[in-house]
Amino acid sequence: MHSVGMRINKKLLATIAVPVLLGGWALFRPELIFVNKTVDEKLPVSATSTQTLSQLAVGSFTSQAHETKGTAEIVRIGDKTYLQLKDFSTSNGPDVRVYLTSGGNPGKESLSLGSLKGNIGTQNYELPKTYDPTTHQAVSIWCERFAVGFGLAAHAARCSHCGNFLQRLRLTLKAATAKPTANQDSLDRLRAQIQELEAKG
């Protein structure tokens, strides 16, 4: 009788353990840590194109929860703006996404660019019209599943080919200052960015 009870308990434990293990695997996806996905994208500029490429800002990644390397560049080609992760590498993981943030981890003013295309290699993300250089001043590689940052790159404006960019920043500051609800911290960051560009110019 005792042996029968033991067999029943083992079957019951197996019945419970299997879905628990499968659920844990689906949540954590531990095998992704050991699987790299490499990409190598080029910016959409051809040798015969009349469109010029302007580098607006650049920043280097610093590691957070996982070692992350490379640079994050904001470039303009014609009337489109792109984020390019260049010589990029980080760990793989479940539901890793790319965000433009105000300087730290994703928040309410952040802009989602979708899932990370690969944990290794150069890759491009077209920025939507809602991109605002006065607000979106950093790039966060963010694991949505566990709410943890893999890496962060804060942008510094580049003066090369940025005359139009500087003018847009001045117009943005003028418009933002006229608003009674303007965020003072954002205005201060914008003024500092304009002063940096003017000093380089």
Instruction: Tell me whether residue 46 is in a domain.
Output: no
**Contact status, residue 80 vs residue 125, Cβ threshold 8 Å:** no
Instruction: Tell me whether residue 47 is in a domain.
Output: no
Tens of pLDDT along 53-79? 888 888 889 899 999 999 999 999 988
144 in the same domain as 188: no
Tens of pLDDT along 129-150? 999 887 888 899 999 999 999 9
142 in the same domain as 189: no
For the domain that residue 57 is a member of, what is the CATH number? 2.60.40.200
pLDDT band (50, 70, 90) for residue 47: low
140 in the same domain as 79: yes
Tens of pLDDT along 17-39? 445 444 444 444 454 556 899 99
List the beta strands (DSSP E) in 102-196. Answer: 111-115, 123-126, 138-143, 148-154, 156-157
Tens of pLDDT along 117-128? 999 999 999 999
Query: Who wins on pLDDT, 83 or 159?
Result: 83
Query: Who wins on pLDDT, 156 or 153?
Result: 153
pLDDT band (50, 70, 90) for residue 193: confident
- Would you call 65 helix, strand, or coil by DSSP? coil
CA angle centred on 179, ends 185 and 190, rounded to 5°: 35
Which pLDDT score, from 0 to 100, does residue 132 have? 87
Which pLDDT score, from 0 to 100, does residue 146 have? 93
The total of structural domains in the chain comes to: 3
Which pLDDT score, from 0 to 100, does residue 114 have? 97
Which pLDDT score, from 0 to 100, does residue 85 have? 97
Asked if residue 200 has pLDDT above 70, the reply is: no
CA angle centred on 76, ends 70 and 78, rounded to 5°: 150
Q: Which domain holds residue 84?
A: 53-157
- The tokens 């009788």 sit on which residue? 1
- Would you call 154 helix, strand, or coil by DSSP? strand
* Mean pLDDT calculated for residue range 182-189: 74
23 in the same domain as 107: no
Task: Among 9-13, 82-86, 143-147, 153-157, name the one with the lowest average pLDDT.
Answer: 9-13
* Mean pLDDT calculated for residue range 2-15: 54
Instruction: Tell me whether residue 48 is in a domain.
Output: no
pLDDT band (50, 70, 90) for residue 8: low
**CA pair distance 151, 186, nearest whole angstrom:** 23
57 in the same domain as 146: yes
Question: How much is the CA Rg of the chain, to the nearest whole Å?
Answer: 23
**CA pair distance 78, 10, nearest whole angstrom:** 67
Instruction: Tell me whether residue 43 is in a domain.
Output: no
**CA pair distance 68, 195, nearest whole angstrom:** 30
83 in the same domain as 136: yes
Which pLDDT score, from 0 to 100, does residue 98 have? 98
Distance of CA 115 to the CA centre of its chain: 9
Instruction: Tell me whether residue 42 is in a domain.
Output: no
* Mean pLDDT calculated for residue range 41-50: 74
